[in-house]
């Protein structure tokens, strides 16, 4: 069979596997791997940047998804830093269609994103779960957890709890109505844009990934509530990591594969094996990368939530406790009652967090939560009575959060000044009254400035500053 060059960089055994699967269509598949990847973004519904992407084509399976004709230098767009959108691969936005198809629109639910970093699927979930729901966003890898934290902060929703746990240590057995497992995989679907993924591929790695996915899936089904949904996804084509996992979940744990309505014009391929069903995205058929997604439901008569865990949780001490509303924050935050009640937590370092949701659950009892909601800021001098002598330093996350009060003084920056702010350089504006100000670009918050007698100080966290130089 003739096929276009070059795919000598792709392992010959992978070539063979895809030829067996796709037949003559594999030519088209392999030439697509040498073409340019589409650029796409997920627009944040809570920070929709007006007409900024008015002319961009929509992603068919995600109403907040847009294709951009040309890849911009996102790092120099302040709206990117404000969390108005997230740069995300288009096929994987199918999760939006899956979640929207499964849920009743009004009932708040408990959601877990088990393999969450860098945060794309969490952002998708936050865009379509009902108001009042809560999302536990978990990432086992500590350095990737930092990226997740940053991206969740930028998205700005106040209903996200963050944990950094191996799935086996997550204590909330039977609690979650919806679990996303976007599993670590052999990455075949990324061969177009990630040439390193090609080099790392081997049949042994597919086997290794498949075994790891089963360990994660076993924990996911434990954590699911009776009748709850599991959305399993990978960015690979290997059946051992895809439809065979769905089959295995049905056999081992009686999970029922759920079909979705998928219009033919989307050109998504339905994969079946017995009663198992899943959806495969091929880059030569859809405008996106390789992706697989399947939905499974836990039988409604499975055992429900177990309030206490008998797992060994030694070594964990509570680092945060629930607290009453700190009055010092009255002017700083706002809330919208339709999204549930606001709860406050305080760490031993006097860091205050706020969580808004209608789900009433004791998240702190195991001492495993790293971020119980939005980090609001630090309250110092909290002696008794607490409200006397308090000074409050707002956190960067509060500036980007929906909890930020509209009454906070702001400074609107033009593009050049906004970039200076994002480089953590000084910004020159007319001096105003002393105190904290929100730095904004086109109305969207970027972080904090503080006016003192010495001038206007830039409080952007150093780790988030732009370092890259712009080529003019
Ligand atoms: N859902 C993410 C998104 O949309 O941005 C991408 C997730 S990525 C495909 C898979 C994640 O699983 C990685 O962040 C990786 O660190 C994590 N992971 C690796 N091994 C794991 C394990 N044994 N249990 C849980 N997660 C694991």
pLDDT digit string (tens) for 433-471?
899 999 999 999 999 999 988 889 999 999 999 998 877
Q: For residue 115, how far is its CA from the centre of ligand 1 (angstroms)? A: 4
Residue 106: per-residue pLDDT: 84
Nearest to 102 by CA among 163, 178, 200, 192: 178
Task: For Cα atoms 237, 227, 248, give the angle at the middle one, nearest 5 degrees.
Answer: 35
Residue 100: per-residue pLDDT: 95
Atom of ligand 1 nearest to the CA of 119: 5
If residue 458 lies in a helix (H) or strand (E), which one and from where to where? strand 455-458
- Pocket probe for ligand 1: among 65, 117, 289, the residue whose CB has the most ligand atoms within 8 Å is 117
**310 against 257, higher pLDDT:** 257
Residue 312: per-residue pLDDT: 47
- Tell me which residue has its CA closest to atom 12 in ligand 1: 115
| pLDDT above 90: residue 118 | yes
SS3 category, 13: helix
DSSP class per residue in 154-200: HH--S-EEEE---GGG---TT-EEEEEEE-----GGGTTT-HHHHHH
Q: For residue 208, how far is its CA from the centre of ligand 1 (angstroms)? A: 15
Nearest to 120 by CA among 37, 204, 64, 56: 64
* Helix ranges, 9-134 (H): 12-22, 26-33, 78-81, 94-102, 120-128
Q: Which residues have CB under 6 Å of ligand 1?
A: 115-121, 139-141, 144, 167, 182, 184, 212, 216
pLDDT by residue (tens digit) across 300-342? 999 888 766 545 455 555 678 899 888 878 889 997 788 899 9
User: Environment class of residue 161 by beta-carbon count within 10 Å: exposed (0-12), middle (13-18) or buried (19+)?
Assistant: buried
- Tell me which residue has its CA closest to atom 19 in ligand 1: 184
Q: What distance in Å separates the CA atoms of residue 472 and residue 469, rounded to the nearest whole number? A: 9
Burial 221-248 (b: 16+ CB within 10 A, else e): bbbbbeebbbbbbbbbbbbbbbbbbbbb
Nearest to 296 by CA among 235, 237, 234, 248: 248
Residue 23: per-residue pLDDT: 97
Q: What distance in Å separates the CA atoms of residue 116 and residue 231, rounded to the nearest whole number? A: 13
Residue 104: per-residue pLDDT: 74
- Pocket probe for ligand 1: among 115, 138, 160, the residue whose CB has the most ligand atoms within 8 Å is 115
| pLDDT above 60: residue 386 | no
Pairing assessment for the beta strands 85-87 and 320-323 based on DSSP bridges: unpaired
| pLDDT above 80: residue 177 | yes
Burial 124-158 (b: 16+ CB within 10 A, else e): bbbbbbeebbbbbbbbbeeebbeebbbbbbbbbbb
DSSP class per residue in 204-239: HHHHHHHHHHHHHHHHHHHHEEEEEEEEEEES---G
Q: For residue 234, how far is its CA from the centre of ligand 1 (angstroms)? A: 10
Residue 49: per-residue pLDDT: 81
DSSP β-bridge partners for residue 391: 380
Q: For residue 152, how far is its CA from the centre of ligand 1 (angstroms)? A: 15
- Tell me which residue has its CA closest to atom 8 in ligand 1: 184
DSSP β-bridge partners for residue 250: none
Q: Phi, psi at residue 113, to the nearest 5°?
A: -105, 105
Q: For residue 118, how far is its CA from the centre of ligand 1 (angstroms)? A: 8
Atom of ligand 1 nearest to the CA of 212: 23
What's the rounded mean pLDDT across residues 384-397?
71
User: What percent of the chain has pLDDT above 90?
Assistant: 77
Atom of ligand 1 nearest to the CA of 118: 5
Encoded tokens for 76: 């120099």
| pLDDT above 60: residue 346 | yes
What's the rounded mean pLDDT across residues 244-261?
97
- Tell me which residue has its CA closest to atom 26 in ligand 1: 115
User: What percent of the chain has pLDDT above 70?
Assistant: 93
Distances (CA, A) of 117 to 17, 41, 157, 183, 310: 30, 17, 16, 11, 28
- Is 235 noted as a catalytic residue in this protein? yes
CB 322 within 8 A of CB 364: yes
Atom of ligand 1 nearest to the CA of 184: 10
Encoded tokens for 410: 């702001």
Distances (CA, A) of 264 to 61, 66, 98, 108: 12, 20, 16, 31
Atom of ligand 1 nearest to the CA of 215: 23
Catalytic residue from among 110, 115, 185, 235: 235
DSSP β-bridge partners for residue 357: 341
**Cα 151 to chain centroid, rounded:** 7
The sign of the CA dihedral 173, 100, 399, 53 is: positive
**223 against 71, higher pLDDT:** 223
Count of C-beta atoms within a 10 Å radius of residue 196? 10
Residue 193: per-residue pLDDT: 87
| pLDDT above 50: residue 385 | no
Q: For residue 120, how far is its CA from the centre of ligand 1 (angstroms)? A: 11
| pLDDT above 70: residue 198 | yes
């Amino acid at each position: 069979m003739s096929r276009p060059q070059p795919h000598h960089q792709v392992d010959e055994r992978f070539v063979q596997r895809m030829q067996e699967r796709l037949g003559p269509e594999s030519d088209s598949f392999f030439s697509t791997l040498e073409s340019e990847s589409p650029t796409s973004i997920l627009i944040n519904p809570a920070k929709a940047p007006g007409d900024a992407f008015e002319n961009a084509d929509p992603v068919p399976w995600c109403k907040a998804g847009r294709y951009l004709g040309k890849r911009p230098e996102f790092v120099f767009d302040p709206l990117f830093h404000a969390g108005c959108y997230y740069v995300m691969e288009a096929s994987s936005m199918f999760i939006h269609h899956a979640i929207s198809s499964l849920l009743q629109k009004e009932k708040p639910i408990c959601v877990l994103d088990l393999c969450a970093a860098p945060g794309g699927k969490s952002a998708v979930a936050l865009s379509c779960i009902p108001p009042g729901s809560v999302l536990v966003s978990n990432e086992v890898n500590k350095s990737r957890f930092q990226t997740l934290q940053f991206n969740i902060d930028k998205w700005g929703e106040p209903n996200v709890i963050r944990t950094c746990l191996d799935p086996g240590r997550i204590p909330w057995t039977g609690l979650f109505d919806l679990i996303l497992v976007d599993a670590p995989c052999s990455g075949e679907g990324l061969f177009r844009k990630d040439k390193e993924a090609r080099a790392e591929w081997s049949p042994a790695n597919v086997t290794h990934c498949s075994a790891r996915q089963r360990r994660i899936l076993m924990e996911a089904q434990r954590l699911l509530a009776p009748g709850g949904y599991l959305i399993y996804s990978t960015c690979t084509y290997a059946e051992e990591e895809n439809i065979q996992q769905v089959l295995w979940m049905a056999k081992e744990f009686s999970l029922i594969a759920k079909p979705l309505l998928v219009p033919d014009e989307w050109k998504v391929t339905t994969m079946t094996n017995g009663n198992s069903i899943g959806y495969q995205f091929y880059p030569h058929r859809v405008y996106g990368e390789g992706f697989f997604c399947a939905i499974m439901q836990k039988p409604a008569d499975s055992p429900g939530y177990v309030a206490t865990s008998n797992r060994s949780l030694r070594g964990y001490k509570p680092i945060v406790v629930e607290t009453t509303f700190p009055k010092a924050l009255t002017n700083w935050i706002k809330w919208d009652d339709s999204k549930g009640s606001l709860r406050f937590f305080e760490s031993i370092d006097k860091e205050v967090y706020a969580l808004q949701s209608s789900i009433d659950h004791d998240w702190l009892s195991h001492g495993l939560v790293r971020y119980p909601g939005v980090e609001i800021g630090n309250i110092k001098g909290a002696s008794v009575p607490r409200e006397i002598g308090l000074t409050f330093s707002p956190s960067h996350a509060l500036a980007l959060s929906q909890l930020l009060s509209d009454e906070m003084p702001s400074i609107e920056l033009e593009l050049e000044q906004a970039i200076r702010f994002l480089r953590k350089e000084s910004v020159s504006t007319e001096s105003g009254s002393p105190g904290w100000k929100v730095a904004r670009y086109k109305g969207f918050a970027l972080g904090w400035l503080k006016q003192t007698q010495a001038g206007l100080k830039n409080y952007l966290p150093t780790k988030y500053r732009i370092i890259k130089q712009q080529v003019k």
